[in-house]
Amino acid sequence: MAATAQDLMLRHRHRYTVDDYYRMADAGILSPDARVELIDGEVMEIPPIGPPHASMVTELQNRLIRAVGEAAVVRVQLPVRLGPYDEPEPDLAVVTPPLAKHRTRHPKPADILLLIVVGDSSLPLDRDVKLARYAACGITEAWLVDANAGTVLRCREPDAEGYRRADAIHGQCDIQIPGLPGCTLDLRHLH
């Protein structure tokens, strides 16, 4: 059976490295205000942030900062370097302190305790693409929050194919923040 043009294009696609990605930005190929992320070597356009998404990120940010205190650093919509071909900007990242170590480099998988992605219109991309990449890069735990329903999908046990364990959490509980014994996040009245 002959390969189609699309099959050949997919087989021979060029993957950009994180270094390529920064060179494209420095050269003006990527606009400074472009809403893009590097996922598995592809520069992916990210949808604009609507009010439900922004509200949920802000709510989670405030709760996380109160929950972790000085035990961790909460980063909001900032890059994480997951490997040579991945530098996404998750909605929230809980990373190991001190903050000073992140002045010269973005957090790497070993620094990341938890990634949280909030989805509304981007839910299929977040669920089907980003979570799989987070697992493949060794992120031990990631949560996908549905901004419209207020539900949380807690993903753990990563491998190259994705997370082996995904538990739907429907609010009204406290959930343990990974790597921080005694630190829990209150998911009650999440909207």
Give residue-wise pLDDT tens across range 121-158. Answer: 788 888 889 999 999 999 999 999 988 887 899 999 99
Q: Higher pLDDT residue, 12 or 107?
A: 107
Q: What is the pLDDT of residue 57?
A: 94
Say if 119 falls within a structural domain.
yes
Task: Provide the CB-side half-sphere exposure for 12 (13 A, CA).
Answer: 7
pLDDT band at 10 (very low <50, low <70, confident <90, very high): low
Q: Based on the structure, what is the number of domains in the chain? A: 1
Say if 69 falls within a structural domain.
yes
Give residue-wise pLDDT tens across range 36-91. Answer: 999 999 999 988 888 989 999 999 999 999 999 999 999 999 999 999 999 999 99
Q: What is the pLDDT of residue 9?
A: 55
Residue type, 107: P
Phi-psi region of 28 (alpha: psi -120 to 50; beta: other; left: phi over 0): left
* Domain of 148, in residue numbers: 50-186
Say if 171 falls within a structural domain.
yes
- The CATH code of the domain that includes 157 is 3.90.1570.10
> What percentage of residues in the chain have a pLDDT greater than 70?
92
Q: Are 50 and 122 in contact (CB under 8 A)?
A: no
Say if 42 falls within a structural domain.
no
Q: Mean pLDDT of all residues in the chain?
A: 90
Q: Are 125 and 148 in contact (CB under 8 A)?
A: no
Residue with tokens 């509200």: 55
Say if 81 falls within a structural domain.
yes
Say if 39 falls within a structural domain.
no
